[in-house]
Structure 1
């Protein structure tokens, strides 16, 4: 199965992220101030920082351990030559449940 229901959108306050286990992989889901959702791999590749706990705005998440900044849409680190974390397709259904698609993004 490629789409996984991980819980209610109400579990993520606006402007924050939460980590979910999806088939043994930690995925961070962020609820932006405009109500949209973004999802990235939840572990920073530098030293394993918890990206779900990072500060977000409408475009980026900042790793709480070392300050590395990742684009919420693409997962690309904003530093030149930086690493990338995997982005995931995420959506909220009409009944308020969050679904994460584990198929590769394009």
Structure 2
């Protein structure tokens, strides 16, 4: 049996948009709402370059990353020809209230980080050798 944590009301998530959920450890989780009020939850990190999926555009049961337009499905898988995945999270809606699995929220994908981009990544690469 799962314990569920209340996140928000369904109407707190904009249609074709997202709501970010901060966690005690690990990156935020993004809950997406499609045009039929269907929801899905993913780690707020594109598998390509780490873009914030919560800032992307929802297209059916997928979200387009705002950085390079990769589309990521509700299962976290990138659409072909792109490859990669981002962790997904279980959620439920009851009486217009949105819940995430508390155990999953606390433990799932807590070690993933955004890649370092720009000049800082070049400095890190130079000092690593």
Same fold (TM over 0.5): yes
**Residue of structure 1 equivalent to 2:45:** 43
For the residues of structure 1 that align with 2:82 and 2:68, how far apart are their CA atoms? 16
**Residue of structure 2 equivalent to 1:33:** 35
**Residue of structure 1 equivalent to 2:117:** none
For the residues of structure 2 that align with 1:42 and 1:88, how far apart are their CA atoms? 11
**Residue of structure 1 equivalent to 2:21:** 20
Greater strand content: 1
Q: Is the Cα contact below 8 Å between 1:18 and 1:53 reproduced in 2?
A: no
RMSD: 2.1
**Residue of structure 1 equivalent to 2:83:** 82
Structure 1 spans left out of the alignment, 5+ residues: none
Bigger radius of gyration among the two: 2
Offset of residue 5 of structure 1: 1.6
Change (3 A) 1:10 1:81: closer
Structure 2 spans left out of the alignment, 5+ residues: 109-129
For the residues of structure 2 that align with 1:2 and 1:43, how far apart are their CA atoms? 25
TM-score scaled to structure 2, two decimals?
0.69
Once superposed, which parts of structure 1, at least 4 consecutive aligned residues long, lie more than 4 Å away?
none
1:93 counterpart = 2:94 = yes
For the residues of structure 1 that align with 2:58 and 2:51, how far apart are their CA atoms? 15
Greater helix content: 2
**Residue of structure 1 equivalent to 2:60:** 58
> How many residue pairs align between the two structures?
102
Q: Is the Cα contact below 8 Å between 1:41 and 1:86 reproduced in 2?
A: yes
